Structure 1
Amino acid sequence: MTPNSKPMASTSLTSPMSRDEAINHVVNTDPRFAIAQTTLWGTPFTVFANAPDNLRTLLQEAAGNYPDRELLVYGEQRWSASQFASEVNRTAHMLVSELSVQPGDRVALAMRNYPEMPVLLMAIVSVGAVVVPLNAWWSGEELAFAISDSDVHLVFADGDRYLALCPHIDERSVTLVGVRDANSPLQYAELLSRSLDDSWPDVSIAPDDDFAVMYSSGSSGRPKGVLLTHRGAISSVHSWRMGKEVAALMDPQAAADQAEVPAFLVVTPLFHVTALHSVFLQGLALGAKLVLMYKWNAEEAAGIIQREQITRFVGVPTQSAELIQAAEKLEYSLDSLETIGAGGAKRPATQVLQLASQFPKASIATGWGMTETNSLGILLSGPEYVDNPDAAGRLTPPLQEMRIVDATGNQVSTGEVGELTVRSPANMRGYLNLPEETRDTLKDGWLYTGDLARVEESGLIYIVDRKKSIIIRGGENISCLEVEGALHQHPAIAEACVFPVPDERLGETVGAAVYLHEDSHADQTDISAFLKQRLAAFKVPDRIWFWHDPLPRGGTDKLDRKTLQRLCQNLDEE
């Protein structure tokens, strides 16, 4: 497809199709989603035959198809698609002329959700360089580790990240450019002011070139750099674009009722795949308005949704819960919302029903994906999710394959639990500087996710637990997620995280950290009595630690189970 070609709409049909019928119809009739076979790194894959070759082409298509449509909003600042593309291109030329960035160079971004983040990201990849988005919650030492690990020599940092980095890097080998409030001799705004060329960079970018190194949560040690290609990111974005066409064929009336121009609220950090891929890049492909939030605040988010007529909200489950409370307090209907999604963690089943009741016009949705899969994975939404709130969903078509395997790599039977493995061109190329970990995770194109799952006769997939998050108490296996699900049913509990506690007699017992809703009260006796009505006695936590603040989270915004386990045990030793 050429950059300025208009997308071809799927055939409009009045009668709803089944899911399989809709998938087949779109793949076979819409050239955008035609599929083909190719070999990548010695392994055969199904790929999109006519997808954009790279992320620069994705931006070119958006600017060509929707030049005057509002694309990016941050407070009072607004960019149309053509204005955003112009600023990206000026930044791209500045990177080359002022900072000598070459194709293949890695450039790090250390900042919160400022508009400079997506501009710089798209500029870096548009000149064939590789972006390294750093976790803005990391310490200076952690930031410096990723910079060294990824061999970065150029970093754009906002004020807090600039101060955190300065004591930990050698300025002779790493150039720091200040963004916004960073007091740096080199300033992004000043460099950009001298760059007037907004033409598209004339640099060749192959589909299988790297576009990013994104760091995983590293719960078992140091964060791991995940090597992601342009094809990988495009495969995810194009699969979601196709999903919109499939949904329209399955429910034509719901599609007809949707807003003409989608509007997405970006509430999670752009240094994670949830925000970067499934919100920003997907929104770019769909011509959506993308409204950035610098920092999460539920009441502020409710106000933005009301004011900007946001149609899509994707956040961690805690944010969805707080949005319910904010909407009630402010008496906002938020009826522009068409989708309320969850990413990063499993949503408690009770919250699914609450959201469906509070926002009846919205489709409540959940998603499973990984940094290693460019966020592509499993999705579930609408009435099927409300009816099956513990399910993860169904594999996103049409490129992915799935197997659930036992310890020897053999596929298990329907209904049996095993490790979830997925194969698609969206999978990572590997882990940076970690060949052994790459070999353990990628086998013949199959990515071993470390998640234990089962698939039912209905085709619904259930994520049971992390492979390494099973508590073995006196020979009995206990799922941390199962106990967490029961804890979340308690009306006083806002967040809960379950982990093993060493025990001389039983090997391990169940421990839990909980954070209560504001103005709520509960103690261990009350919670234990509540759980005994829902769980076998051996699954009820022997010890509960109560936290006065939200529970700590890891690099991908999931509850940091290992850190919580260590902190809680340290409290007992003090």
Structure 2
Amino acid sequence: MEGALSGRQSFSNSDPNWFSTETGIYSSRHPLRSLPQDAFHDLASFLFSRPHGGETALVDSASGFSISYPELRSMVDRMASGLHEIGVLPGQVLLIVLPNSVLLPVILLGVLSLGAIITTMNPLCSAKEIQKQMSSILHLALVFCSSEKVATHGQFGVPIVTVPNDLSYDSAHYPFFHKIVSGSPPLTRKPVIRQSDTAAILFSSGTSGSSKGVVLSHSNLIAMVELFVRFEASQYKKESWKDVYLAAIPMFHVYGLSLFSIGLLSLGSTVVVMRRFNALEAAKTIAKYRVTHFPVVPPIMTAFIRAKEAHGCDLRSLKQASSGAAPLSNQLIQEFLRRFPHVDFIQGYGMTESTAVGARGFNTETCKKYTSVGLLAPNMEAKVVNWETGISMPPGKSGELWLRGPAVMKGNTFGSYGMNLISVPC
């Protein structure tokens, strides 16, 4: 970090102990969390090695179709085996262009179990937008998409797998998918996967320029599970496997992917998946499935609190709503608190480049800071740098935020794969 993070200013002796007056580095106030040291520990193996008491992993909100945790593990193993049988190799990239689906985590974890790489895109993107994004991707081997989007993806010249909404499908209509998901587990020869190997290429929002393919390793995703999802769960005195989460935000985006397709599955929580968000349907789903946690982004939060019909549903099961991905106005926060006074509200901060790890809020009986994104995540370091002079800034000053830690990306498709530092205005 020295050199890249040079540029210092004199600081007072009264600066807090989580801020270094020598280096200008902010350290997390949380204790360090242990991360696996085995260089050959892949994400899927790590995920399924976490013990919990969960029974139901995923539920389709519309049909009620569900996948239990034993079924999930079996389906992931069969998916990996099926992909191997059709010739998918470690290191190849598989594109997932799907709306929210209970099958998305099965596909994602099956691909990663094989040592291949996933990349995701918004299924609403045009063919031109997809072509532009995919121009930086090498070794594209396969595309997973819904049946109505097949024509959009024929341009890549690779096999296309049409994916049903759930497993209650006619195999005659989805023969390729059926062949893959019916593979014979386990793999006859488990691939060698290193933590440092690329696991995912996710596209950034492009808020500071054109969208870039962010290269994330298995170790980045493992760090996300520990430093974001499992750490947050550890702060509450409850059994996380009893929690029920509503997946209404996009699962192709790093926020939804990190929670619903990966992290929460290590806790044994139940994820209720909405294929498309509708405020009234979300309220009905919360009541029907006794949802306890509702992760949102500002547009979803706005639509939800303004849907007067929501007041006709029993939302007493809802314990917490958490917002991320974009700033919230204080007015919107106060409106939510007035409408849902029994719900704990927190905010968080993270980026695609930091695998959704950054900061997370936490309320207590004596301290509630609804407008704050919380404290720096465990094992993470930060600097706040004056964007004109490059000088490190002390607490209470604004500047550009620099992050360093085990969740920070391996690199990007337009730059060095060795990058371990990111910055963003704050």
Query: Does the pair score TM above 0.5?
Result: yes
Instruction: Trace 1:120-139 onto structure 2 (pairs within 5 A).
Output: 120-139=107-126
What CA distance in whole angstroms lies between the structure 2 residues aligned with 1:339 and 1:238? Answer: 20
What CA distance in whole angstroms lies between the structure 1 residues aligned with 2:353 and 2:96? Answer: 19
Change (3 A) 1:219 1:395: closer
Instruction: Trace 1:114-513 onto structure 2 (pairs within 5 A).
Output: 114-151=101-138, 152-166=140-154, 168-169=155-156, 171=157, 174-180=158-164, 187-192=175-180, 194-198=182-186, 202-219=190-207, 222-240=210-228, 241-245=230-234, 247-248=235-236, 255=237, 261-326=242-307, 329-382=310-363, 388-397=369-378, 399-407=379-387, 408-435=389-416, 442=419, 445-449=420-424, 451-452=425-426
What CA distance in whole angstroms lies between the structure 1 residues aligned with 2:28 and 2:299? Answer: 36
One-letter amino acid of the structure 2 residue matched with residue 127 of structure 1? L
> Is residue 71 of structure 2 the alignment partner of residue 71 of structure 1?
no
One-letter amino acid of the structure 1 residue matched with residue 304 of structure 2? L
What is the CA distance between 1:420 and its match in structure 2?
0.3
What CA distance in whole angstroms lies between the structure 1 residues aligned with 2:226 and 2:218? Answer: 12
**Superimposed CA distance per residue, residues 23-78 of structure 1 (whole angstroms, 9 cap, x where no aligned partner):** 44xx5xxxxx43xxxxxxxxxxxx5658993221134225x644x70001113211
What is the CA distance between 1:384 and its match in structure 2?
8.9
**Superimposed CA distance per residue, residues 430-449 of structure 1 (whole angstroms, 9 cap, x where no aligned partner):** 111334xx79xx4xx33122
What is the CA distance between 1:289 and its match in structure 2?
0.4
Contact 1:176–1:184, Cα closer than 8 Å, also in 2: no
Q: What TM-score does the superposition give when structure 1 sets the normalisation length?
A: 0.62
Change (3 A) 1:102 1:339: same
**Superimposed CA distance per residue, residues 460-485 of structure 1 (whole angstroms, 9 cap, x where no aligned partner):** xxxxxxxxxxxxxxxxxxxxxxxxxx
Contact 1:333–1:359, Cα closer than 8 Å, also in 2: no
145-154 or 261-270: bigger deviation = 145-154
What CA distance in whole angstroms lies between the structure 2 residues aligned with 1:194 and 1:150? Answer: 28
Change (3 A) 1:259 1:282: closer
**Superimposed CA distance per residue, residues 399-438 of structure 1 (whole angstroms, 9 cap, x where no aligned partner):** 1001101234321132221100010010001111334xx7
What is the CA distance between 1:230 and its match in structure 2?
1.0
Contact 1:266–1:280, Cα closer than 8 Å, also in 2: no
Contact 2:39–2:195, Cα closer than 8 Å, also in 1: no
> Is residue 84 of structure 2 the alignment partner of residue 81 of structure 1?
no
What is the CA distance between 1:198 and its match in structure 2?
4.9
Contact 1:51–1:238, Cα closer than 8 Å, also in 2: no
What is the CA distance between 1:189 and its match in structure 2?
3.2
**Superimposed CA distance per residue, residues 194-250 of structure 1 (whole angstroms, 9 cap, x where no aligned partner):** 4233569722211111110001123465421100011111112101312332x23xx
Structure of greater Rg: 1
Contact 2:382–2:404, Cα closer than 8 Å, also in 1: yes
Change (3 A) 1:160 1:125: same
Contact 1:140–1:161, Cα closer than 8 Å, also in 2: no
What is the CA distance between 1:368 and its match in structure 2?
0.9
One-letter amino acid of the structure 1 residue matched with residue 55 of structure 2? R
Contact 2:115–2:191, Cα closer than 8 Å, also in 1: yes
**Superimposed CA distance per residue, residues 88-133 of structure 1 (whole angstroms, 9 cap, x where no aligned partner):** 11111110102x1111111111111122211110000001111111
What CA distance in whole angstroms lies between the structure 2 residues aligned with 1:104 and 1:201? Answer: 16
State the number of aligned residues. 391
CA RMSD of aligned residues (A): 3.1
- Which structure has the highest strand share of the two? 1
Contact 1:110–1:136, Cα closer than 8 Å, also in 2: yes
**Superimposed CA distance per residue, residues 355-412 of structure 1 (whole angstroms, 9 cap, x where no aligned partner):** 2333233210111110000000011243699954443321112x10011012343211
**Secondary structure at 1:192's aligned position in 2?**
helix
Contact 2:402–2:422, Cα closer than 8 Å, also in 1: yes
**Secondary structure at 2:101's aligned position in 1?**
coil
Q: Which residue of the partner structure matches residue 6 of structure 2?
A: none
Q: Structure 1 unaligned segments of length 5 or more: list them.
A: 1-19, 28-32, 35-46, 249-254, 453-574
Contact 1:126–1:201, Cα closer than 8 Å, also in 2: no
Q: Percent identity?
A: 26
Contact 1:178–1:186, Cα closer than 8 Å, also in 2: yes
Contact 1:327–1:333, Cα closer than 8 Å, also in 2: no
What is the CA distance between 1:79 and its match in structure 2?
0.8
What is the CA distance between 1:156 and its match in structure 2?
1.2
Change (3 A) 1:141 1:221: farther
Contact 1:111–1:161, Cα closer than 8 Å, also in 2: no
Change (3 A) 1:208 1:50: closer
What CA distance in whole angstroms lies between the structure 2 residues aligned with 1:52 and 1:328? Answer: 51
What CA distance in whole angstroms lies between the structure 1 residues aligned with 2:172 and 2:206? Answer: 31
- Which structure has the highest helix share of the two? 1
One-letter amino acid of the structure 2 residue matched with residue 405 of structure 1? V
What CA distance in whole angstroms lies between the structure 2 residues aligned with 1:265 and 1:387? Answer: 24
Q: Which residue of the partner structure matches residue 40 of structure 1?
A: none
**Secondary structure at 1:153's aligned position in 2?**
strand
What is the CA distance between 1:134 and its match in structure 2?
1.6
Contact 1:232–1:428, Cα closer than 8 Å, also in 2: yes
**Secondary structure at 1:382's aligned position in 2?**
coil
Q: Which residue of the partner structure matches residue 520 of structure 1?
A: none
**Superimposed CA distance per residue, residues 149-190 of structure 1 (whole angstroms, 9 cap, x where no aligned partner):** 212131111123322223x33x3xx22222228999974433
What is the CA distance between 1:143 and its match in structure 2?
1.4
Structure having greater relative contact order (Cα 8 Å, sep ≥ 6): 2
